[in-house]
Chains A and B, each alone.
Chain A
Amino acid sequence: MKGSGNIPDDLDMKLMSFLQAGIPVEADPYREISEKLGLNRQEIISRLKKLHEDGIIRRLGASIVPSKLGYEANGMVVCEVSSDKISEIGEYLAGLKEITHCYERKPVPNVWNYNLFFMIHGLSRSLVEEYVSKLLKKLGINKFEILFSVKELKKASVMF
């Protein structure tokens, strides 16, 4: 049963911190944490599996630096979408593999009316611009801006 009975305990949280720091790239990756927490490898795996099944671990795997793969243009696209269409459009955008994040956010009336935000990475700015303008035209969105990143100042996990 999933639900309220699945509150992670202290050991779970320690395992989560371990995962957040990154699984060591060593032949026996769980050796150190096993010694540190006094859990054998089997126990560690079954706890991690449970956390994954419960959705507390959202994703497991490598985190890649897009700019190193040539995706140098990183754009945050902000658009104004009417509230009756935002869910449908948000779901659609989320389904596109070019788009990595997509959120509805609460706007600031008359100052910042954009309420739908998504991130896109591309090999060049002009190609991101072309892609986004075609895409949004197709969706009937005409109020939008692309905010290209000039510098990544911080990219980390929220520590707990």
Chain B
Amino acid sequence: MWLNLERNWLGYEVQSVSLKGKVVAIVRPPDQVKELSDVIESLGGTPYEAPLIEVTPAKDQEFLIRLIKDTVSGRMDFIAFMSQNGVRQTFEVAKSEGLEKSFKDHLRKINLISIGPKTKLELEKIGFSNVKLPEEYSSHGLIRLLEKTDLKGKRIGLPRAKGVDDTLRVAFERLGAEVFEAEAYEVQKTSDTSLVKKLIRDLINRKIDVIAFTSPSTVRSLIENSRKFSDLEKVKTSLQKIVIASIGTTTRKVLEELGFEVQVTPSEFTVEALAKEIASYFEKEDKIKKNLGLDKLDSKILEALQFDFPLVEDPWEHIAEKIGVDSQNLLSRIKRMIELGIIRKIGGFPNLKKIGFTASTLIGVKVPQDKLEEITNIINGLNSVSHNYLREHQYNLWFTITVKDNEEIQKIIESVRNIGISDEDILNLPVVKSFKTDVRFTL
């Protein structure tokens, strides 16, 4: 997908957004699927629920119990909750220890922090109004929030998932705090694999337009499950053809390290922002097509014409059948795109080397303004010159020459010299090795 270089590729704002006609795979744990599904539905999209991970209470609750007891005995100054799950599991354990009421009472008196608005909401639901939020909803945001406070000798409790990195602990300790990390829950690959297998099949069969990763563990689960139930390379190739969305930069980094290109990352790390960002991504893509008056069928035609053009007596019939259109319509659409200047031609591109054109070079020239027209006329008149560009650089004219022997190149250089350009203003940069010469574009 050509448009996917960067999420803000087009650089203009979109007014209203919609996910109409788009299938968005949601891979969060079952109890968190719904909130994202709802947002996607409200934007007109079709949520596709396939949890890749599940959340279970931590097996070893010793530290969590100790954290609760320390809070109750007044020995905790801050508690930072990192997720809704963290809140739920912590209170679950407080309850089973018979400490729920006194735990709540003490939490009202200390500094209660939540990593993001959803976690804050979870705390508000059970009666807390003293919850602080960082400006950015991430570990980094939490560090920034607490940097402003004097943490010397303060105790910070962090009920969180098992196996997370120690960025926060290290940062808070550096600020002088004493940190109590406690495993509240575990995130694992989902044990019910039926939906995962279906997800993998549907990714390969291109039934999904977007996959929204909401944590590094969702990414890892997809990779492991693909390896187990399918062909990882196949899944990777399929993912390249759809839109990959990531809720935040940590998840994005994990995806990029695995070689995936992430098209959508919202600037605010919430499910609402994620869904909106996905929608604006499609809106931008559509806008280009609309500006050109091209529709989905046109882009299908463009794709079919560029890849695997059939070598048969009736190529149009073949292509028409392949994309499901009648050949009259196909021909008139192709003609229109040629008239619009989108298609230059439909033809064959020779490997010039194989028919004796073995000398190939790029020439860069410093051309003064007043000589530009003259040199362009000479260069453009040569059959051996295929590309000639004016570029923004002190070497401003760049053209390629492909000929049968180097002597011809020297002759062309000579003719450039003859119009009064000195030797040191001409760069001759012959090809040593060609890595790629294939140009294809898709919408």
Contact = CB atoms under 8 A, between A and B. Distances in A.
Interface of A: 8, 13, 16, 19-23, 25-30, 41-42, 45, 48-49, 51-52, 54-66, 68-71, 74, 76, 86-87, 90-91, 93-94, 97-108, 111-112, 115, 117-118, 121-124, 126-127, 130-131, 145, 147-160
B309 A54 contact: no
Contacts of B344: 62-65, 155
B347 A63 contact: yes
A8 B315 CA distance: 23
A149 B388 CA distance: 10
Nearest to A97: B2
Given A61-B309, A63-B439, A21 B347 contact: yes
Nearest to B284: A123
B297 interface: no
A64 B440 CA distance: 7
Contacts of A105: 361-362, 429-432
Interface residues of B, number: 85
B383 A94 contact: no
Nearest to A155: B387
Given A29-B315, A93-B436, A150-B390, A68 B430 contact: no
> At the interface, is chain A mostly helix, strand, loop or mixed?
mixed
A91 B431 CA distance: 15
A74 to B, nearest CB: 8
B11 A124 contact: yes
Contacts of B352: 158, 160
Given A58-B437, A157-B386, A68 B6 contact: no
A-B pairs, top 10 by smallest CB distance, nearest first, are: A19-B348, A22-B345, A94-B436, A62-B305, A154-B388, A61-B309, A94-B435, A90-B435, A102-B435, A58-B351
A127 B6 contact: yes
A69 B427 CA distance: 32
Given A62-B309, A94-B436, A8 B355 contact: yes
Contacts of A52: 311, 348
B391 A55 contact: no
A25 B386 CA distance: 23
A89 B276 CA distance: 37
Tell which of A70, A71, A156 has the most Cβ of chain B within 10 Å: A70
A55 B376 CA distance: 33
A54 B427 contact: no
Given A22-B345, A23-B346, A70-B291, A123 B10 contact: yes
Contact of B307 (A61, A149, A155): A61
Contacts of A21: 345, 347
B56 interface: no
Contact of B386 (A112, A118, A156): A156
Given A59-B438, A90-B435, A158-B357, A65 B342 contact: yes
A63 to B, nearest CB: 4
12 contacts: A20-B348, A25-B331, A25-B346, A27-B331, A62-B305, A63-B344, A64-B441, A68-B342, A100-B438, A106-B432, A108-B428, A148-B391
Given A64-B344, A94-B435, A131 B316 contact: no
B36 interface: no
B180 interface: no
B348 A16 contact: yes
A116 B104 CA distance: 64
A108 B429 contact: yes
A94 B439 CA distance: 11
> At the interface, is chain B mostly helix, strand, loop or mixed?
mixed
B350 A20 contact: yes
A19 to B, nearest CB: 3
Given A102-B434, A122-B5, 11 more contacts: A29-B315, A61-B346, A62-B345, A68-B340, A74-B389, A100-B440, A101-B437, A102-B435, A103-B431, A104-B434, A154-B380
B380 A69 contact: no
B424 A127 contact: no
A107 B431 contact: no
Given A54-B354, A87-B433, A45 B313 contact: yes
A115 B386 CA distance: 21
A104 B8 CA distance: 31
B399 A23 contact: no
B438 A158 contact: no
Contacts of B436: 93-94, 99-102, 118
B57 interface: no
A98 B302 CA distance: 17
Contacts of B355: 8, 13, 16, 56, 160
A61 B292 contact: no
B335 interface: yes
A63 B399 CA distance: 19
Contact of A45 (B309, B311, B390): B311
Contacts of A93: 435-436
B383 A106 contact: no
A48 B438 CA distance: 19
A16 B350 contact: yes
Interface in B387-413: 387-393, 395-399, 402
A63 B438 CA distance: 10
A154 B385 contact: yes
Nearest to A112: B427
B311 A127 contact: no
